[in-house]
Structure 1
Amino acid sequence: MHALWHQVRSHRPLDLAWQEAAAWMFGEAGYLGPWPHTTQLIADYAVWERVQQLALLRHAEFCVISPAAHSAVMAAAMILDPADVLTLDRDTDIPLRTGLVVLPEPVVLLSRDTELGDLSVLGWTFNTMYGPAGEEFPAVGVSGMSRPVGPTRTPL
C-alpha cells in the first residue's frame, strides 16, 4: 500500500492513484485489470496467484545446479546491479520460457520489511504485464520459493 500512499501524496485523484498503485502491484504480476478497489479483488488475486504458481510447478522444466556451479553463480550474482538486469532480453538471454532452478543449498534473502525463509527454488515464466490504462508489456514473472522455517532466518 506504500505505492498507493505515494500516488496520493503526489496529489493525484484517489481513483487515478488506486489504478497506478494497482498496476504496480497486480499489473506487474500479470493480473489483467480492471482492478476495483474492493476486498473481492484481493481474494480473486490470491486465487489467481495460486493458479499461476501451480501452473509453474506443473509445466516448468527443472534445472538443478551442482554445488560447485552454485558457488560460481552466487559469486556472479553478487556483482549484478539493477541496471545489469535491465539489459537482459527475454527472447535471447533466457533459454526456457518456463523453468525452475533447484539450488543445492538454500540462499539467505535479506529484506527489511519481511521475514523470509531460505530460498530453495527460483522459478520463472514468460508473461505479460499490464499498465493502468490496459497497455501490455512482455515480461518475465519470477518466483522465489522458500522454506517457511529453516536453519537461517532473515532479521525483521
Structure 2
Amino acid sequence: MCISSVPDWFAQFKNFTFDPNDGIKSNFNRLAGIRGWRKHLKATKWMNCQTALFDSLYGTDISKLEIWQDLCREVYIKNHPSSIKGCKKVLGSRNVRVNLVNLIDHRLTGAYVIRFPSDDKFWEYTSAGRKFPLDAAKKDGFIRSLLRKL
C-alpha cells in the first residue's frame, strides 16, 4: 500500500513539501533543517513523527485479525495464523527481524520490507538513526510484537 497524499504529521508544517519518493527519515531530516531544530527538539519531533505515522498507516485497533494478518504478510510470513494470538507469536519470533522505520517507508513509498537474516545486520541498519521510540514501542499493539533488543 502506497500513500499518495501528504501524511498528516508532515502536513501540519506550512511551506514544507513532502517528497513521496523519499523515505520518512529523509523527509524528516529535510524538515528539521528547514525549521532549524536543534538536537533535543529534533529527537522529540522524530519520536512524535514515527509514532504518529505508524499509528496512521497501520492503525491502532489491535482487535482486528485482518490487520494482524496484513502485517504478517508484509513481513513475509507465508502461512499467517488464524488468530491474533498466533499472529503475535509468529511476529515475535526471533527470526522475524524488521525495522519499524522501514515498515513506515513500505506503506508510505512502497519501499521493499527488509527482513534481516541476522541480529548483526538488523543492528547495523537500525542503529543508523532508524530506531523507533522505545516508550511507544512498548505499548500494547502491533509495534510491541516486532520489538527487538539491540
Task: Point out which structure has higher relative CO (alpha carbons under 8 A, 6+ apart).
Answer: 2
* TM-score normalised over the length of structure 2: 0.31
